[in-house]
Structure 1
Amino acid sequence: MSRFLNDTRQALGTATTCVLVFFIALRLVSLAGYPLMDTTEGRYGEIARKMAERGDWITPWFTDGMPFWGKPPLAFWLSAGSMRIFGINEFAARLPHFLMAVAIAGLTYDWARRAGMRRPAYVLPLLATTVLFWTVSGAVTTDMALCLGTVLSMRSFWLALHGPAGHREREAWLFIAGLWIALLAKGPVGCALILLPAGAWAVWTGQVRRVWQAVPWMRNGVLLLALAAPWYVLAETRTPGFLDYFFVGEHWNRFVVSGWQGDRYGSAHAFPRGTIWLFLVGAFLPWSILVPLALWRARRKSTDLPASGADADARRSIVFYLLACGLAPCVIFTAAGNILWTYVLPGLPPLVLLAALWLSDRDDGVARRLLLGGTLVATVLFAGLLFDLTAGGRAETKSAKAVVQLYRAQLRPETPLAFMQDRMFSAAFYSGGRALQIADPLRVADKRPEEALFIAVPHSALGQLPQAVLPCLQVAGDAGNYRLFLRTPCVAPRLAMKSHGDAIQEAWVTAWRN
């Protein structure tokens, strides 16, 4: 550890190191600073909460009666296990994802050091302060688990071929371990993100035979299937239909069919094909602007590099491999009709390593000024974003936490809480799965009509409340994006609460009888 700290201070300078430590500490503290936000965090947080509550480690549950077939369970296992230890709260749900981000940064640094980079510590501020990595490091998603698997396999593949002879067998095993993590984090697409760049590098360098010999593919492949297949088999056994939906729907229709309508858990995210490349530029900010600018300005001060010979071949080899690993998500998802910007996350560590490799060949003063300036800018921007999420209340408008807290402050636990909308997943998370749902505003009086009921109504939907039910509603207060009402038992207005469809049907029956 002391060697690592000394190397970091020497490479980055004391100021950059201090800012980086503050930046990481700020992210750790922020994990408990704002509520889980819908839809992604609320959904995955609620799935993990159900897993922790039920002790069902095979089937993730979307709702009480619907299994979640969209993703394998690794990320849910981690968040659920954390909740078992630290309780049901934001910090527990997010902590495993932060720790995985730390592990990814450590693996990337170790890869740079073992690959012989002159300034391996450069990767730390470059990776930690990219906008996507910072965001996902404190969010409940499945993407950080996938990234952990891909970077472990990418690193181990390279070191199994180029590392010290005594460590190569170990790296070959770690390569398979990364594939196992990817299979249980996202599925076969995770393995494609690893095997595609490895295969492209082997073909480009003419080392296919060497790659085949360096990794015991058959033996380790059997082991991989033996470790990963049991969960898939058990998942299909417990909830038949999983394999068809997961492999055909999630791994074919989602990417090929634009606006795919078969999604059981939400809506498809349709973007023009090729948008994934723009997502990469945005995800790599601020370095997608600062690094090319610094390289252009310092192009005449670069260290003389060998133009030919073994050193030049070795450099071209690792540059191609890092490019292939970094761009693999964009290549795979270019033709996809449904994408998210988080899909480029597995490409960030190798691209960061490539940027650090180029910067380490430049004048140390130029590189240090760039890293210090970029880290300071990122720290100020992200601190401002956290302030907006917490003190500014932006997170509350995307979460049901505040209104659930207001409901509990009424000290009437015997009176149920319902949400007049498609129930937000954070509502289920913060209510312990007990919040009810009223999807149709015209049915406000029909939900448990003979008993009192708290109803949370989004401010944007207040105008949809039927006039006939307003005398039965008492305002309890506003919280977040909601107004909380106490609806008292109200029978008479229900007579005027016929839906539009019911009214039409009644008119046709009357006309037919006459």
Structure 2
Amino acid sequence: MPRLFTDTRQALGTATTCILVFLVALRLVSLAGYPLMDTTEGRYGEIARKMAERGDWITPWFTDGTPFWGKPPLAFWLSAGSMQIFGANEFAARLPHFLMAVAIAVLTFDWARRAGMRRPAYVLPLLATTVLFWTVSGAVTTDMALCLGTVLSMRSFWLALQGPAEHREREAWLFIAGLWIALLAKGPVGCALILLPAGAWALWTGQARRVWQAVPWMRNGVLLLALAAPWYVLAEIRTPGFLDYFFVGEHWNRFFVSGWQGDRYGTAHAFPRGTIWLFLAGAFLPWSIVVPLAAWRTRRKITSSPTDGADTDARRSFVLYLLACGLAPCVIFTAAGNILWTYVLPSLPPLAVLAALWLNDRDDGVARRLLLAGTLVAIVLFAGWLLDLTTGGRAEAKSAKAVVQLYRTQLRAETPLAFVQERMFSAAFYSGGRALHIADPLQIADKRPQEPLFVAVPHSVLGQLPQALLPCLQVAGDAGSYRLFLRAPCTEPRLAMKSHGDASQEGRGGEWRN
């Protein structure tokens, strides 16, 4: 009978491992399976493409004439470097973010192992199959770079205090390396996500003196500034005004001024105060449901030592530290209204370690069944999501890739392409920065009126096209959420529109290239 139980546990573990490996492979393959979507992926992908094209590694550019002051450049450096190797495509743009996700999973596993967890591998499915982590691991954002910095510092801070004596100096250096990554991924808010929970834990557990002695704060702080400050200084020199916008606008107004109108690059995201906690519950799915249910059902079935090889005080201290790190984003952004659900990504590694610590106290068979059930739920969710993106048309509806491809099939490369009304950054990415922009349908006739022009019009805007212009428009086809027209040189519609009082509108249309 014991042999049967052993075989069953091994089979459960093998099944979970196979599913996890399949999910990782599926995520890697999917990187090239659907287009960059607006606004986030299209925006950051185009910024990285411009960086690679220009060779300007100091200033990220929003458009050819507008610098992007919203984020530091680390994520753009990585995607731009990948594009220089693999070309300007979805796979190249997303690959660095996938690799950072793999690095985060490895660091989280190593954290659990070095902290003395009996089965540290439990953290891998708990982290990799969360909805947010899996999604962002294949998305062009700045959040995975931030998460890499936070998990490196969180792990290294703990090991600089609790790890083997011969490794503590190394961990102290790695702690500063994580802060450097956070500073160049998101800025001071990244450091706050690391330092605030560490400080709160030190004060709560009465270990402030030990923390001060374990890490050479002054020496390493000077080194951190010496490594991070040069880019900030150069960015201000190249484009004056950056520091004021970045530190005041992005790090105060964005979070504490609901509906902030000073955003130079989009629209502020206004949510009720405290919404970040709901984002965390959604981001940690399916485990935010599976683990609490399992805890209720198995509340009397603890079979291993509650200290897991350490004394009770040390374990309690570790749990408090994991909670402080895992809940820090929610605490920091509770009062913020302008937030996104990706802000809780740094919460997931420490919460995965905490959940794995809880599972280590359960019967091995119960723990493995729970992990298998969660990964099965995850694979169903993720497979359905990918199927919807690739075959359901949802990705195409949020991207300009399909209509740019339709434009290229027209075999008229000398005829420019313009997008009407919506400023789709994916249009700039897929057109190599050559797509034009027309802000108002009434200005279609005014854009290069003496030459032919392909015009991509969103289906939602077709009813706003002036009747006088229709004779000059030849339908080339539909693609994604656009209808592509070939506009012949035509002056009469322009005169007709002006006779309806539109003369004052002339000149408002612009190009994405300045």
Query: Is the TM-score greater than 0.5?
Result: yes
Matched, 1:109 2:109: yes
| 1:196 matched residue in structure 2 | 196
Q: Is the 8 A contact 1:260 1:268 kept in 2?
A: yes
8 Å Cα contact 1:79/1:93 also seen in 2 = yes
1:83 aligned to 2:79?
A: no
Structure 2 counterpart of 1:268: 268
Counterpart of 2:300 in structure 1 is 300
Task: For 1:253 and 1:14, locate their aligned partners in 2 and report how far apart those are by CA, in whole Å.
Answer: 49
Distance 1:502 1:150, change over 3 A: same
Distance change >3 Å, CA 172–CA 464, structure 1 → 2: same
Structure 1: gaps (5+ residues): 1-8, 506-514
Decide whether aligned partners of structure 1 residues 373 and 219 sit closer, same or farther in structure 2, where only a CA change above 3 A counts.
same
Distance 1:159 1:500, change over 3 A: farther
Instruction: Report the equivalent of 1:208.
Output: 208
In 2, Cα distance between the equivalents of 1:208 and 1:36? 46
Aligned position for 2:417: 417
CA distance in 2, matches of 1:471, 1:304: 79
Q: Residue type matched to 1:403 in 2?
A: V
Q: Which stretch of the first structure deviates more once superposed, 309-318 or 454-463?
A: 309-318
The structure-2 alpha-carbon separation of the partners of 1:427 and 1:263, relative to structure 1 and needing over 3 Å to count, comes to same
Deviation at 1:28, TM superposition (A): 0.3
Q: Matched residue of 1:295: which SS?
A: helix
* CA distance, structure 1, for counterparts of residue 307 and residue 222 of structure 2: 43
What corresponds to 2:477 in structure 1? Answer: 477
- 1:138 maps to 2:119: no
Specify whether residues 314 and 37 from structure 1 end up closer, same or farther in structure 2 by C-alpha distance, changes over 3 A only: same
Between the aligned partners of 2:10 and 2:120, the Cα distance in structure 1 is: 11
Mapping for residues 55-74 of structure 1, pairs under 5 Å: 55-74=55-74
Q: Aligned to 1:13, what secondary structure does the other structure show?
A: helix
Output the CA distance in 2 between the equivalents of 1:478 and 1:275: 39
Structure 2 counterpart of 1:261, one-letter code: Q
* 2:321 corresponds to 1:316: no
Trace 1:20-419 onto structure 2 (pairs within 5 A): 20-303=20-303, 305=305, 311-419=311-419
Equivalent-residue separation in structure 2 for 1:193 and 1:327 (angstroms): 10
One-letter code aligned to 2:176: I
SS of the residue corresponding to residue 444 of structure 1 reads: helix
Going from structure 1 to structure 2, the CA distance change for 1:277 and 1:11 (only over 3 Å counts) comes to farther
Change (3 A) 1:468 1:360: same
Aligned residues of 1:12 and 1:121 also touching (Cα < 8 A):
no
CA contact (8 A) 1:442 1:499 kept: no
| Cα displacement (A) at 1:492 | 1.4
Q: Deviations over 1:426-460 (max 9, x none)?
A: 00000000000111111111100000000000011
Contact 1:153 1:194 in 2 (8 A): yes
| Gap regions ≥5 residues in structure 2 | 1-8, 506-514
Of 69-78 and 303-312, deviating more is 303-312
Q: Which amino acid is the alignment partner of residue 250 of structure 1?
A: E
Could you list the per-position Cα deviations for residues 278-334 of structure 1 after superposition, in whole angstroms to 9, with x for gaps in the alignment?
A: 000000000000011111111111136459997110110000000000000000000
Matched, 1:432 2:417: no
What SS class does the counterpart of residue 159 from structure 1 fall into?
helix
Does the 8 A contact of 1:270 with 1:339 survive in 2? Answer: yes
Q: Is the 8 A contact 1:11 1:121 kept in 2?
A: no
Query: How far did 1:422 drift?
Result: 2.8
Query: Cα RMSD (Å) of the superposition?
Result: 1.6
Q: What is the CA distance between 1:366 and its match in structure 2?
A: 1.0
Kept in 2: contact 1:11–1:122 (CA 8 A): no
- More deviation in 100-109 or 391-400? 391-400
SS at match of 1:109: helix
- The alpha carbon displacement at 1:495 in A equals 0.6
1:500 deviates by: 6.1
Greater than 3 Å deviation, 4+ residue runs: 9-12, 304-310, 499-505
CA distance in 2, matches of 1:382, 1:337: 29
**Could you say what secondary structure the match of 2:446 adopts?**
coil
Do the aligned partners of 2:442 and 2:502 also contact (CA within 8 Å) in 1? no
Quick check: 2:403–2:482 contact (8 Å CA) kept in 1?
A: yes
Other structure's SS at 1:178 match: helix
Stretch of structure 1 that moved more, 10-19 or 400-409 = 10-19
The one-letter amino acid of 2:206's match is G
- Secondary structure at the aligned position of 2:445 is classed as coil
Give distance in 1, aligned partners of 2:308 and 2:404: 67
Q: Give the secondary structure class of the aligned counterpart of 1:38.
A: coil
Between the aligned partners of 2:330 and 2:224, the Cα distance in structure 1 is: 26
Q: Distance in 1 between matches of 2:30 and 2:345?
A: 21
Q: Is 410-419 or 420-429 further displaced after alignment?
A: 420-429
With over 3 angstroms needed to count, the CA separation of the structure-2 counterparts of 1:446 and 1:121, relative to structure 1, is same
Cα separation, partners in 2 of 1:269 and 1:433, compared to 1, 3 Å:
same
Matched, 1:19 2:19: yes
- How far apart in 2 are the matches of 1:26 and 1:367? 25
What is the DSSP-based 3-state SS (H/G/I as helix, E as strand, rest coil) of the residue aligned with 1:476?
A: strand
Give the drift of 1:87.
Answer: 0.4
Aligned counterparts of 1:309 and 1:495: Cα–Cα separation in 2: 84
Q: Which amino acid aligns with 2:381?
A: L
Q: Check conservation: 1:442, 1:498, Cα contact below 8 A.
A: no
The worse-fitting range, judged by mean Cα deviation, of 273-282 and 384-393 is 384-393
**More moved, 435-444 vs 165-174:** 435-444
Question: In terms of mean alpha carbon deviation, does 320-329 or 495-504 score higher?
Answer: 495-504
Q: Distance in 1 between matches of 2:365 and 2:426?
A: 48
Q: Distance in 1 between matches of 2:340 and 2:122?
A: 28
Query: What is the letter of the counterpart of residue 451 of structure 2?
Result: E
SS of residue in 1 equivalent to 2:72? coil
User: Partner residue of 1:510?
Assistant: none
Work out whether residues 20 and 125 of structure 1, in 8 Å CA contact, stay in contact via their aligned partners in 2. Answer: yes
Deviations 1:58-78 (Å, cap 9, x if unpaired)? 000000100000000000000
1:423 Cα shift? Answer: 2.1
Alpha-carbon deviation of 1:119?
1.1
Task: Give the 3-state SS of the residue equivalent to 2:300 in structure 1.
Answer: helix
Q: Deviations over 1:230-289 (max 9, x none)?
A: 000000000000000000000011111000000000000000000000000000000000
- Return the letter of the residue paired with 1:380: V
